[in-house]
Amino acid sequence: MNETQDTAIALDHVSKSFGKKQVLRDVSFSVARGEAICVLGRSGTGKSVTLKLMIALLKPDAGRISIDEDDITQLERKELSRVRRKMGFLFQSAALFDSLTLHDNLALPLRRLTDKSKQEIEVIIDHVLGQVGLADDKGKMPVELSGGMQKRAGLARALVFEPQILLIDEPSSGLDRITASEIDDLLLEQKTKHHTTMVIVTHDVHCARRVGDRFAVLDQGRLAALGTPQELEHHENETVRMLVGES
Amino acid sequence: MTLFGLKVIANVFRFPFELDQIWSQMGEVGARSLPLVAASGLALGVVMTLHTRSTLVTFGASSMIPELQSLSFFVEIGPLVAALLVSGRVGASIGAVLANMRATEQIDAIEALSIDSFKFLVVPRVVACVLVMPLLTTFMDFCGLLGGFVSEYAMSHLSLQLYVTRAFTGVEWSNFIPPTLKTAVFGFIIGTVSSFFGYSTNEGAEGIGRAATSSVVVSSLLIILADVILVKIIFLVFPESAI
């Protein structure tokens, strides 16, 4: 298999600005199929923007972003929709639809985008909610769920299409260490059992070291370092060493 | 905002037609506005009769009270007041809901799930407003007549049968149909303006309040402006509707 076939996500000289503020400057890196890469960096360095660019929620000002072999910066809505079906996105705030029950949050994309019968949809929902330990809570509204439960519910929704690629924004933010560890376990399970390609934006080095194969460190909108945790521990850039260090 | 409105029109006729969403929004916009529209119609009906009665009695024309009441409501009061009430209740709600969805990344989540958020969230709300406004206006017209009857009955013990007969004596279909149908345009304005402010905002919690306020202010202003234009058009197309 050649390198292109092995690459799930590729950013090629990507830049992005909001008004006069340049958030990403000429960022290039790729994620191999089945690999988990953690994006680290100080607040405001463009980590979440990178994630949103990968699923075309934002468009880059320059550069190319490929998912498998599709350049998503050039795709029409219909084609983009096909590419997005391969991807799951866990938002920092979980972003559950607050007017729908947990069950309906998961059922909505299945009802709209697949031809599955009601029974088949119920089986998928039960299975996915079982995976994240929320099988008994499917009738609850998002507001009735704790922060950790909302994160798990968001993850369940991201998993309903059995995505090949999972984009995860701050999986452990606002959670206690134990709950955060439970989320990490779910991500690890997804990675090892289903070989899902993952890009995880996080500030939590414990999570990053447990789940990530490689780290991409952003500093002032530039890719400051890319490598395994061991490689980056002795990196010449002090910010990189501080972000990657365990203490 | 004009482009936003044109995008709505273009998307209405594009598959999928979002019938479930439209039905659900019709409940939200229509059924939940009924108490407000009914109460306002009744109160306005009573007040209108109280105001006009003393003047008409002076000229010995008290028998014209029901007709004046029905024409006032059918031609102008019903359509305009119903639209302004709905713009306040529904416009603010649509603006705030969509702005909140934007602020909490729910709209991004819809897009990430490969669902067209514009088609799913905006188009059904606008269509619901367009369909429901004429119904709410008709409801308001008849509540206004009922309020007028209650007031008149309290003053002169006029029978319901006579009140209804007099109320519809001088009313033509052209006094009722075109003014009621013009509220579909008001519905389009309410739905489009409030969706525009809610869907386009990206300013967090502060933006939610601003979207709600702007939705009400701008849609109310545009309704009043559109009313002037539409009344002129109605007079041109249906000259017999001029009172």
Pick out chain B residues at pLDDT < 50: none
Would you list which residues of chain B are within 8 Å, Cβ to Cβ, of chain A?
16, 104-106, 108-116
C-beta atoms of B112 and A57 within 8 A:
yes
Strands A62-67 and A7-18: antiparallel
Q: Is the pTM of this model over 0.80?
A: yes
Q: CA A96, CA A236: separation in Å to the nearest integer?
A: 41
Rounded Cα distance between A197 and A33, Å, is: 6
Q: Do B115 and A77 touch (CB under 8 A)?
A: no
pLDDT of A2 higher than 60 = no
Q: How confident is the model at residue A47 (pLDDT cuts 50, 70, 90)?
A: very high
Report which of A216, A244, A232 is spatially closest to residue A36, judged by C-alpha positions.
Answer: A216
| Cβ(B125)–Cβ(B196) below 8 Å | no
> What is the domain range of residue A167?
7-94+101-245
| Percent above pLDDT 70 for chain B | 100
Question: What is the tens place of the pLDDT at every residue in B181-208?
Answer: 999 999 999 999 999 999 998 777 788 8
Q: Inspect the interface and report whether the beta carbons of A109 and B104 lie closer than 8 Å.
A: no
Q: Taking a contact as any Cβ pair under 8 Å apart, which residues of chain A between 183 and 242 contact chain B? A: none
Chain A residues inside the 8 Å CB shell of B112? 55, 57, 84, 87, 89, 91
When CB atoms are compared, the residue of B106, B112, B115 closest to A112 is B115
B84: closest CA of chain A, how far (Å): 26
Q: Does A55 touch chain B (CB under 8 A)?
A: yes
Pairing of strands A214-219, A222-227: antiparallel
Q: Do A112 and B105 touch (CB under 8 A)?
A: no
The CATH number of the domain holding residue A234 is: 3.40.50.300
Instruction: Give the pLDDT of residue A3.
Output: 54
pLDDT, mean over chain A: 89
Q: Do A109 and B113 touch (CB under 8 A)?
A: yes
pLDDT band at residue A51, thresholds of 50, 70 and 90?
A: very high
Question: Shortest CB distance from B116 goes to which of A55, A77, A95?
Answer: A77
Interface predicted TM-score (ipTM) of this complex, two decimals: 0.87
What pLDDT, in 10s, does the model give residues A92-123?
888 999 989 999 999 999 998 889 999 999 99
| Total domain count, chain A | 1
Q: Examine residue A1 and state whether it is found in any structural domain, yes or no.
A: no
Write the residue in B16, B105, B116 that is nearest to A95 by C-beta: B105
Alpha-carbon distance B21 to nearest alpha carbon in chain A (angstroms): 12
A158 to chain B: nearest residue by CA?
A: B113
pLDDT at B187: 96
Mean of the pLDDT values across residues A158-185?
Answer: 87
Size of interface A-B (CB pairs under 8 A): 49
Compute the nearest-CA separation of A55 from chain B (Å).
Answer: 7
Predicted confidence (pLDDT) at residue A1 exceeds the cutoff of 50? no
**Of the candidates B139, B155, B134, the residue with the CA atom closest to the CA atom of residue B63:** B155
Helix (H, G, I), strand (E, B) or coil at A203: coil
Chain B contact present for A151, CB below 8 A: no
CB-CB contact of A243 with A40 (8 Å) = yes
Nearest to B104 among A77, A95, A109 (CB): A95
Question: Could you tell me which residues come within 8 angstroms of residue B87 by beta carbon, excluding any fewer than 6 positions away?
Answer: B186, B189, B190, B194, B215, B216, B219, B220, B223
Q: How far is CA A241 from CA A38, A126, A146, A229, in A?
A: 15, 43, 34, 10
Chain A interface test: which of B28, B105, B110 (most A C-beta within 10 Å) = B105
Local structure of A18: helix, strand or coil: strand
Asked, for residue A2, whether it belongs to a domain, the answer is: no
* Angstroms from A81 CA to nearest CA on chain B: 5
Q: How far apart are CA B212 and CA B214, in angstroms?
A: 6
Min distance A217 CA to chain B CA atoms (Å): 25
Nearest to B75 by CA among B164, B169, B162, B172: B172
Stretch 68-97 of chain A: residues touching chain B, C-beta under 8 Å = 77, 81-82, 84-85, 87, 89, 91-93, 95-97
pLDDT at position B178 is 93
Residue A179 has what pLDDT? 79
Name the residue of chain B whose CA is nearest to A51's CA.
B112
Of B16, B106, B116, the CB nearest to A95: B106
- Contact B109/A95, CB-based, under 8 Å? yes
Domain for residue A86, yes or no? yes
B47's CB contacts (< 8 A; 6+ apart) are: B147
Question: Which of B114, B117, B118, B208 to probe by mutation at the A interface, max A CB count within 10 Å?
Answer: B114
pLDDT tens per residue, range A190-214 = 888 889 999 999 988 888 888 999 9
Distance from CA of B91 to the nearest CA of A (A): 18
